Amino acid sequence: MPRTEYLLIAGTASAALAPLVARELGIALTPCRIERFPDGEISLEISDNVRRREVVIIQATSPPVNDHLVELILLADACRRAAASHITAVVPYFGYARSDRRRGLRAPVSARAAATALESSGIGHVVTLDVHAPQIEGFFSIPTDDVEAMPSLDAAIGPLLDEQTVIVAPDLGAVRRARDASRRLRRPMALCLKQRSSGTQVEVTGVVGNVDGRSCIIVDDMISTGATVAESARALLAAGAREVRAVVATHAVFAPGAAERLAGSGIRDVFVTDTVAAAAVGWPATPLLHVTSVASLLARVIRRLEAGESLRAPG
């Protein structure tokens, strides 16, 4: 493998994705030993010399979120103490992104606390993919870039489109992504009006836009419990939609029960990326699920970062 000016290190959360990125880049991953003691503490050591080298760490903070967040912090701390010249953290899925404000007078802003912890570990630049709340960029005082991964799924869903297809946002938080997908795919857009009563209980109270007799594709940034997209699918069918052809999301977090909710909702296909490792969340072996890799996208982003080029519309 050719020597580069930077080293690529993988955390365990992205152990499946990182080798694909390394192959796209034409480099080898830097060897790193990561172990867990019986009490859960993490022990790690980077095998190669990182002194005065730029380091890129690929590590999603996916479930178990706290373990993977601490692992990322320790990887960065190890590089900092070994005199790496600069550390970039590529975080395909940023956990705690939904906790972007206080839910009560004595509640934390968890996304800010996670950002502060990453900064204090020596990370100098953070790259995320389709982070849930764009304002999280303001929680960091170091450079951050949020890269749009949703266009990577356009080719996968292209064969599903017809003249009657409608792109649907399952709630107000998904409007921007659905609007962008609507423009790229040149299809009209609709919106589901959602009320959430708990972490797993939601109610869709209405649909804005014409879905009668149409095929619907639901677009969101993540599938966690599956409650939002499942209830949206039921509401769309009740509003006269011909079918809910697919749900498209960047992050397949898939909390327990999500697969069952999706399977019983009338959704025909689920399209996601590999920002979250399937083994980490126990994705079911189901013909509903189609996975598109973001490895080539991340490789292009890393190339541009290391070349000092703009990340606008990578590729």
| Residues carrying an active site annotation | 194
Among all chains, which residue has been given the structure tokens 């290391």? 306
C-alpha torsion sign, points 294, 137, 283, 63: positive
Rg (C-alpha) for the chain, rounded Å, is: 20
**Residue indicated by tokens 């960047």:** 250
Task: Encode 78-104 in three state secondary structure.
Answer: HHHHCCCCEEEEEECCCCCCCCCCCCC
